[in-house]
Amino acid sequence: FPPFGCPTPQVYKALRPHLPGQPGAPAVHGPDAFLAALATGEPRAVAAALWNRLALPAEAEWPALRDVRARLAADPRVLGAMLSGSGSTTFAVVASAADG
């Protein structure tokens, strides 16, 4: 939880459409892919399906958020990390509660 907030209106103002092929916006991600991964109960599938349309604009406005996500992702126990909502809270997916 970074020591700063990301005002939701400011993040939405920075939001741009994430078109297929645009860097950082994989075409296979979205709510349906995430729900399908969640239904499998497999942490690796859930981590691979993480996607937040607000992450790129928030990280563009507050570059320190990229560092937070990168530090989480660098932990060998972490399968995936993502910004929660418009930020600044960032979370990680791990294989089991023992890894958290």
Per-residue pLDDT of the chain (100 residues; tens, 9 = 90+): 899 999 999 998 888 754 444 555 544 567 888 899 999 999 999 999 998 989 999 999 999 999 999 999 999 999 999 999 999 999 999 998 877 6
Q: Which of 75, 84, 81, 76 is nearest to 93 (CA)?
A: 81
Q: Which of 96, 88, 99, 95 is nearest to 1 (CA)?
A: 88
pLDDT of residue 24: 54
pLDDT of residue 47: 94
pLDDT of residue 69: 94
Contact 95, 21 (CB under 8 A): no
> Structure tokens of 90?
């960032």
Contact 22, 55 (CB under 8 A): no
